[in-house]
Structure 1
Amino acid sequence: MKSRRYVVYDVFTSEVLTGNPLAVLLDCDGLDTAAMQRIAREFNLSESTFVLPPEDPRHRARVRIFTPDYEMPFAGHPTVGTAIALAEQSGSNAPSIFVLEENIGPVRCAVGHSGGTAFAEFSLAQLPQSPSFSADAGAVAAALGLGPHEIGFENHRISYWTAGVPYVAVPVSGLEVAGKVRFDNAAWMEISPAKSGSAVASAYVYCRETVHHDSAFHARMFVPGNPSYEDPATGSAVAAFAGAIAHFDKPVDGASQYWIEQGMEMGRPSRIRLEIDMAKGAIAAARIGGQAVKVAEGVLFA
């Protein structure tokens, strides 16, 4: 029986037992897809990552991302957490830039340390796109336990975006309404679009009103399924949400930065940094960043 090292990080936070937990398996030689899926189910976190030798020797690693039930093409907190784990395995706090090979494609990452806590940023491999989707605000509101009058603010309306993982972005009028959301899985499955060959789009609920004065948006994210669950920090949702920001807020050309808070209602507060580069009124590039702290390490016998 082989011994495989693992580390567990809380991601998009600087404090342990907050943010979004991630298991990183560092010694994955000899594991096939079925074995990775079984191990991810054993850890039973929202995602676990498996680090393999890169296919291109110029890159740092090949990384596969699994939920307890299926493999993901890309995900935000696994990318940030794995990048920080690999940088810290080197034993140096010097800034580093490298590429991780994910199913979505090559993902450029940068890792540094500030005040003793690691921070990683990655560039989106796929810019947000908005597939065709017509949503009845009343049906969406009902699936979230809300009234139709509580959906939308300013010019923000329900929209559908993907930057590798699909989300229905649902603007709500403020923090009080965001806190009232009660996700109805069966109702959501009836109305949410599904990309061919992928899971049903998740619900990304957001508002402009925030808990922290330096946050641009407050968000909650709900994953449909059996069982459904709320996620405390979702980088792939922020990647998709960049499309909604560009569409509704129309940032000026150049770089814009947004801090997005999530996980408050779960008792696992998180902070995700989004940077968008606009050119000629469209997104030219975008980056997701955040901190992570190691909370556990050990050996898996599998």
Structure 2
Amino acid sequence: MTRHDFRQLDVFGSRPLSGNPLAVVVDADDLDAGQRQAFARWTGLAETTFLSEPTDRSADYQVHIHTPERELPFAGHPTLGSAVAWLDAGGRPAEEGRVVQQCAAGLVPVRVDGPRLAFAAPPLTRYEPVESELLDRVATGLGLTREDILDASWLVNGPEWLGVRLASAEQVLGVQLVPAGVLGLDIGVVGPHPAGAEVQFEVRAFIPGGAVPEDPVTGSLNAGLAHWLMDTGRAPDSYVAAQGTAIGGAGRVHVERDAEALWIGGDVAPVVSGTVDL
């Protein structure tokens, strides 16, 4: 076994311990995929990341992102949390105010501005309407009728999200997952809050059959939803989404599109630091 620096952080929270927890193992170059997966399964968190030296000279560090079941090519809250953990462990980016992360999906720029970071949303590799027969299953799995679903789209940017749009945040919060018919799907649900509310959208992310069946706050899903909502004229170029409300959290995702990129931002708070023997 080898001793490694370790961090656990709260990502996208709007108050202490209200976002999505992330475990990060620093200087993990000596760990193979099996060792990484075993530790990610042991933590039981939605994701655990492992930082190592980049193989791309344009990157500041490389990250492997694991759920308790598998490795992901990209994920949002692990990107923000890993950047903070790398900086906290003494990392120095090549460019002031910007970290470049290497992951299986490619290079991901991260803007660093105090406790709030933002990553540039990767492109969608599948972005098309959901097949009618599958949408029937999804409606049943969410405890909805087909008439409740205003629209649905594949939003694949690493994780294979299936996005569902409802008429209101109230409907989103009322969803009761019936997992049996939708096992193996990753489903994101979004609906607007009333005008004048603190946040503009409510989001929920379901992973039926997973170790974490409802994700507290999900950067990759919010990135896909932002592309979709903006492209269809349902959202402005800047807005805030809430997530985690239904499971006792208070996540906030800050979305902004500028000439350079679509940025998905949130606050990151270190909570635990120490070492781990792996």
Fold equivalence (TM over 0.5): yes
- CA displacement at 1:250 relative to structure 2: 6.5
Identity, % of aligned positions: 31
Of 137, 140, 143, the residue aligned with 1:142 is: 140
Give the structure 1 partner of residue 265 of structure 2: 289
- CA displacement at 1:202 relative to structure 2: 1.1
| Cα distance change of structure 1 residues 138 and 58 upon mapping to structure 2, 3 Å threshold | closer
Tell me if 1:246 matches 2:230: yes
For 1:248, give the aligned amino acid. Answer: T
Give the structure 1 partner of residue 9 of structure 2: 9
| Cα distance change of structure 1 residues 96 and 298 upon mapping to structure 2, 3 Å threshold | same
How far, CA to CA, are the matches of 1:211 and 1:20 in structure 2? 27
Counterparts of 1:114-193 in structure 2, within 5 Å, are 118-127=115-124, 129-131=126-128, 133-135=130-132, 138-152=136-150, 157-189=151-183
Of 238, 243, 253, the residue aligned with 1:257 is: 238
- CA displacement at 1:58 relative to structure 2: 4.1
Contact 1:65/1:75, CA 8 A, preserved across alignment: yes
- CA displacement at 1:91 relative to structure 2: 8.7
- Larger CA deviation: 19-28 vs 132-141: 132-141
Contact 1:185/1:228, CA 8 A, preserved across alignment: no
Instruction: Output one character per residue of 1:72-117: Cα deviation in whole Å (capped at 9) or x when no partner.
Output: 000000001111222233399x96212110100011112121xxxx
How far, CA to CA, are the matches of 2:195 and 2:157 in structure 1? 27
For 2:170, give the aligned amino acid. Answer: E
- CA displacement at 1:124 relative to structure 2: 2.2
Give the structure 2 partner of residue 90 of structure 1: 90
How far, CA to CA, are the matches of 1:35 and 1:140 in structure 2? 35
Q: Alignment length, in residue pairs? A: 275
Instruction: Output one character per residue of 1:158-214: Cα deviation in whole Å (capped at 9) or x when no partner.
Output: 22222222212112222332222111222123xxxxxxxxxx441111111269823
How far, CA to CA, are the matches of 2:275 and 2:116 in structure 1? 25
How far, CA to CA, are the matches of 1:29 and 1:175 in structure 2? 43
| Cα distance change of structure 1 residues 215 and 109 upon mapping to structure 2, 3 Å threshold | same
Q: Which runs of 5+ in 1 are unaligned?
A: 190-199, 279-283
How far, CA to CA, are the matches of 1:96 and 1:85 in structure 2? 15
- CA displacement at 1:277 relative to structure 2: 4.1
Give the structure 2 partner of residue 71 of structure 1: 71
Instruction: Output one character per residue of 1:267-291: Cα deviation in whole Å (capped at 9) or x when no partner.
Output: 111001122347xxxxx73111111
Paired residue secondary structure (2:268) = strand
Give the structure 1 partner of residue 191 of structure 2: 207
TM (normalized to structure 2)? Answer: 0.89
Q: Which runs of 5+ in 2 are unaligned?
A: none
| Cα distance change of structure 1 residues 271 and 124 upon mapping to structure 2, 3 Å threshold | same
Contact 1:242/1:276, CA 8 A, preserved across alignment: no
Instruction: Output one character per residue of 1:2-37: Cα deviation in whole Å (capped at 9) or x when no partner.
Output: 111110001001432210000010121311111000
Give the structure 2 partner of residue 275 of structure 1: 256
